[in-house]
Structure 1
Amino acid sequence: MHKASLKIGAALMLCAFLSPAAHAKKCTTAQADAAETMVDYLDSWEKIDQARKQFGHCDEGSIAQGISEAVARRLVDNWDTLPTLANLIKKDRALKPFVMWHLNTTLDGGDLEKIQVLATSSCQPGLNKLCAELKKTAKATLKEALELSR
């Protein structure tokens, strides 16, 4: 076998070993049921963060849609809670990509537009970077949703 083939094979094995999917925790039926129930009670950033920690491995399908809706409701209806989100992100940086991932095409276009407007016109002092990321993500998601609808 060539040295190059060995290196590629070793690299592929390493990637497979290190990939999140290789270590993904399986979502049991009981956990999925609990996560599905929990989605109805995600009325704060703390609860959304707790759901991520407890049921992140179940974050797909209707559970993911419910979490996305909870994230949108926090941002659209309770924009004044953004400092709480920022503080939680400071404690655990994994929360930010989780929130951004949930700004997706399952959300209402009007909510995505409102997030862009709020991030532009109502960003609180010290949160400019977070607001910019929220705006960018909402804008890209809205564009993606429009392209999918064509």
Structure 2
Amino acid sequence: MAATVLLCACLIPAAHAKKCTEKQADAFEAMVDHLDSWEKVDQLRKQYGHCDDGGPAELLSEAIALQLADRWESLPELAKLIERDRALKPFVLGHVDSTLNDREVNRIQVQATSSCPAGLKRLCAELKKRAADAFK
């Protein structure tokens, strides 16, 4: 009896996993094209995080890398959002990956090393590590 209850409890999350429809995937991609702030990245994660796979995920990785590389001064905004919702951090860090071009990864790594805003050393260290891992 206990095994049956345990088996059913394990299957419930899988049964309720949200599937990404074609319409949602299109909306996800459309939002990626307009990501110019961490607030919008967080909004996309909350609305369409279940669509974060395959080609659209690569587009999102590129958008996040550009946000980090080109708008490094916005890192404190990201940190504030992460304080409010810890799920944002692994979402962002997970997109600093091997799909990115070396130029962007290098810029992220350099900025995390030499231009870390006060109080964000841990986040910078994690970004630096993810960038180093992306080169592997």
Q: TM-score, normalised by structure 1?
A: 0.82
Q: Aligned pair 1:132/2:125, yes or no?
A: yes
* 1:148 aligned partner: none
Taking only aligned residues, the RMSD between alpha carbons, in angstroms, comes to: 2.0
* 1:147 aligned partner: none
* 1:93 aligned partner: 86
User: SS state of the match for residue 49, structure 2?
Assistant: helix
User: SS state of the match for residue 105, structure 1?
Assistant: coil
CA spacing shift, 1:134–1:22, aligned 2, 3 Å: farther
Q: Aligned pair 1:35/2:28, yes or no?
A: yes
Once residues 13 and 112 of structure 1 are traced to their aligned partners in structure 2, the CA distance between those partners, rounded to angstroms, is: 43
1:66 Cα deviation from its structure 2 partner: 1.4
Q: Aligned pair 1:17/2:11, yes or no?
A: yes
CA spacing shift, 1:128–1:22, aligned 2, 3 Å: farther
Q: For each residue in 1:97-121, what CA deviation from the matched residue of structure 2 results, as whole angstroms up to 9, or x when unmatched?
A: 0001111111101211111111010
Aligned residues: 136
Once residues 68 and 15 of structure 1 are traced to their aligned partners in structure 2, the CA distance between those partners, rounded to angstroms, is: 34
Once residues 22 and 41 of structure 1 are traced to their aligned partners in structure 2, the CA distance between those partners, rounded to angstroms, is: 32
Once residues 49 and 62 of structure 1 are traced to their aligned partners in structure 2, the CA distance between those partners, rounded to angstroms, is: 19
* 1:142 aligned partner: 135
Letter aligned with residue 122 of structure 2:
K
Quick check: which has more Rg, 1 or 2?
1
1:36–1:62 contact (8 Å) kept in structure 2? no
What percent of counterpart residues are identical?
57
**Structure 1 unmatched runs, 5+:** 1-5, 144-150
CA spacing shift, 1:106–1:27, aligned 2, 3 Å: same
Structure scoring higher RCO (CA < 8 A, sep ≥ 6) equals: 2
* 2:46 aligned partner: 53
Deviating beyond 4 angstroms after TM superposition, the runs of 4 or more aligned structure 1 residues are: none
1:24 Cα deviation from its structure 2 partner: 2.0
**Structure 2 unmatched runs, 5+:** none
Once residues 12 and 108 of structure 2 are traced to their aligned partners in structure 1, the CA distance between those partners, rounded to angstroms, is: 35
Once residues 141 and 45 of structure 1 are traced to their aligned partners in structure 2, the CA distance between those partners, rounded to angstroms, is: 21
